[in-house]
Amino acid sequence: MRVDVLVVGAGPAGGSLSFLLARAGLNVLTIDSKRFIGKKSCSGILGYKCLEELPVNVDPFVVSEIKTGIFESPGGVKIRFEGRIAKVVDRVPLDREIIDVALSNGAKIRTGCRFVGIENEKAIILGENGYEKISFKYLVGADGVYSKVRDVLGWKIEAPYLGIQVFSNKRISPEEGFIAKIKRGSRFLWIYPWGDRSRVGVLGKRIDPLMEWIREIVPSFTGKEVAAIPSMPLKSFHKGNVALVGDAAGQVKPLSRGGVYLGVKGAKLLASSIIDSYERDLPVIEDSYERMWW
C-alpha cells in the first residue's frame, strides 16, 4: 500500500491535519493505536481562539461555558476576570467528529493499528492482521507525548509533566466560574464546572504532592485520570520527509500545558508546508512549517 501522507495519531492535531490534506486532494491514511477515538483525560477547556481554529462546530459537545475566572498566585494574590473566556467540551465526541470530517473529505483511518518503525523507507505498522508495510511520501507523527515517530528521528524530550484530573460533586458557583491556582515548584491546579458537577485538575512533576493538593481542595472525588503532558516544544519539528505535530512536538501552552489550540494551529502550518512540498514534488517537507511557527 502506498499513500501520499501517513499520519500517526488521530487526536485533534492529527485529525485536523488529515482533514486539511485530504481536502487538498492528497491520499491520506491516519492510524491510531487506540480502537476508539477520543481522549478522556483532557480538561476540554477550549478558549475562543482555539474554537476558531477547529475544523468542526463544537456546540453539540459543550458541557458548560466559562464566563468568569479567578487566578491565584503562590503568594495568595487573586486576579478576577470576566468575559467570553472558554467553553468546556467533551473531548471524546469532539475528536471523533474531527476524524469524521477528515473521512468525509477522503481520508482513510485505521484504529487499533500501531506504528512500529521504518524499514527500507517504508512504515511498519501492527494491526489486527499482523505486521504490514506502507510506502509513503511524507510521514507525520501526531502520536502524543511518547511519540514512536519521534523515536525514529532519534529526538529526545524533556521529562514530561503529570496531569491528574478528578470529578467532584462540589459545584462551582457562576461567580467563580474557573479557578486556577499556582504553587511554587511549577505546580498548577484548576477547578471548573462540568455540567452539574465540577472537575479538578493538577499539573506537576510528582504524583504524591499533586494528589495531596487535590485532597486539600476536594476530599471526596471520583474518576481519577492520569496523563503525561509535554513540558516544552522541541527546537525542531521536522527532518527530511518526517514531521511532528501536537503533543509529539511539544506544542503546548507554557502555563497550563494545554495542547489542543497549539496542536491544531501547528496542523494548519504543517498542512500548508506539506501541500506546497507535494505540489512541487519535493522528496522532503520544506521548512516553512518551522519558520511560520517560530
Q: Confidence band (pLDDT; 50, 70, 90) for 255? A: confident
Count the domains in the chain.
2
Task: Quote the pLDDT of residue 279.
Answer: 98
The predicted-structure confidence for 85-122, as pLDDT tens digits, reads as follows: 999 999 999 999 999 999 999 999 999 999 999 999 99
* 133 and 237 together in one domain: yes
**Considering the domain boundaries, does residue 280 fall inside one?**
yes
Round to whole Å and give the CA distance between 241 and 281.
Answer: 12
Q: With 0-12 CB in 10 A as exposed, 13-18 as middle and 19+ as buried, what is 232? A: middle
* 82 and 94 together in one domain: no
Under 8 Å between Cβ of 178 and 188: no
Q: Please say which residue of 194, 211, 229 terminates a domain.
A: 229
* 204 and 218 together in one domain: yes
Q: 169: domain range?
A: 63-88+161-229
The predicted-structure confidence for 34-88, as pLDDT tens digits, reads as follows: 999 987 778 899 999 999 999 999 999 999 999 999 999 888 899 998 998 999 9
Q: Domain with 166 in it: what CATH number?
A: 3.30.9.100
* 205 and 103 together in one domain: no
The sign of the torsion formed by the CA atoms of 98, 101, 102, 108 equals positive
* 12 and 147 together in one domain: yes
* 171 and 254 together in one domain: no
The predicted-structure confidence for 123-157, as pLDDT tens digits, reads as follows: 999 999 999 999 999 999 999 999 999 999 999 88
pTM above 0.85, yes or no: yes
Helices (H) and strands (E) in the chain, counts: 7, 16
* 279 and 144 together in one domain: yes
Q: Domain with 11 in it: what CATH number?
A: 3.50.50.60
**Considering the domain boundaries, does residue 55 fall inside one?**
no
